[in-house]
Structure 1
Amino acid sequence: MPRMKLQKVTPLAYAPMVALETYARTHNDARTYELIKIRASELNGCGYCLAMHTRDARKQGESDERIAALAGDWRAVDLWSPAEAAALALTDEVTRLGEGGVSDATWDEAVARWGEKGVAGLIMAIVVINAWNRIAIPTGLEAADL
């Protein structure tokens, strides 16, 4: 059982999150969107979001092999299109923002594969899943709550 349901405690704060989610979902390829959600949730250790987006990815036709590969070194397996690999690399670097931010190489590859508008959509998807992870973890949401 969660510690709180944020949408009930602060509906005015929750509404913009839902709006950002809607924007990100409608401005990204559905399968890539779920890959981003799974990968960021793996990196952040958010079991609730991981379970939700694994389920959603399977509904989109995603394979168990590709989903499982996102838990480790996804680069070690040859399962991704060049565009997907660019989106996953961007997800890793935006989620784990270090002192240098996103590397030029990762940025340039993402823009080459997705274009500026596509990268803008990817960034919003990465931002929103990181925000959802940061809501789900402290409020105690768990996969059993789905």
Structure 2
Amino acid sequence: MTQEARIQNPATLLPEAVKAINLLYRAAHSAGVPGTTLELVHLRASQINGCSACVDSGARASRKAGETEERLFAVAAWRETPYFTEAERAALALSEAATRLADRSDPVPDAIWAEAARHFGEQELAALVLWIATTNFFNRINATTRQPAPQHWG
């Protein structure tokens, strides 16, 4: 059952917030991490948080960037599928850990961080962390204000 949004998305109601969000987006997307990897971590965090608007936009953006249906359908079960590279797996593991902070006493264990660092340089890691945090930011706004996924017909 979908519920109506409580208010318009707060990020669109406050023009200064839109500017800041655009700066975060540009910073995260300019550090050399493949766009498909950023889209995958966005989608996975949004799935974990149950953010329908971000799951919808993430899947659509991934598809537009050339992602296959097979891989998109498998993101939630990425560990059990052969569809993802080692670097993508490291990014997905980092996304899950950074999203589920309260699930364990050491939210992002050294092994997860080390595996990500094996595949990404310092600036790329910074971009991944920033993008995961930004995704969680959007997820929390959308869940709090009940922003729905748009209805697509046809």
TM-score by length of 2: 0.86
Gaps of 5+ in 2: none
Matches within 5 A, 1:129-144: 129-144=135-150
What are the Cα deviations for residues 46-83 of structure 1, in whole angstroms up to 9, with x where unaligned?
00000001000001110111111112x31011111111
Check if 1:10 corresponds to 2:6: no
Cα shift at 1:141: 1.1
Q: Which residue identity does 1:102 align to in structure 2? A: V
Q: 2:108 is matched with which residue?
A: 102
**Which structure shows the higher helix fraction?**
1
Q: 2:123 is matched with which residue?
A: 117
Cα shift at 1:22: 2.2
Instruction: Report the 3-state secondary structure (helix = DSSP H, G, I; strand = E; otherwise coil) of the residue aligned with 2:121.
Output: helix
How many residue pairs end up in the alignment?
145
Q: Which runs of 4+ in 1 moved over 2 A?
A: 7-15, 25-28
Q: Which residue identity does 1:129 align to in structure 2? A: T
Instruction: Report the 3-state secondary structure (helix = DSSP H, G, I; strand = E; otherwise coil) of the residue aligned with 2:150.
Output: helix
Q: 1:8 to 1:122 in 2, by over 3 A?
A: closer
Matches within 5 A, 1:1-146: 1-5=4-8, 6-27=10-31, 28-71=33-76, 73-98=77-102, 99-144=105-150
What is the identity percentage for the equivalent residue pairs of Structure 1 and Structure 2?
A: 37
TM-score by length of 1: 0.91
CA distance in 1, matches of 2:137, 2:58: 15
What are the Cα deviations for residues 13-54 of structure 1, in whole angstroms up to 9, with x where unaligned?
443223212211222311111101100000000000000010
CA distance in 2, matches of 1:84, 1:8: 31
Q: In angstroms, what is the RMSD of aligned CA positions?
A: 1.7
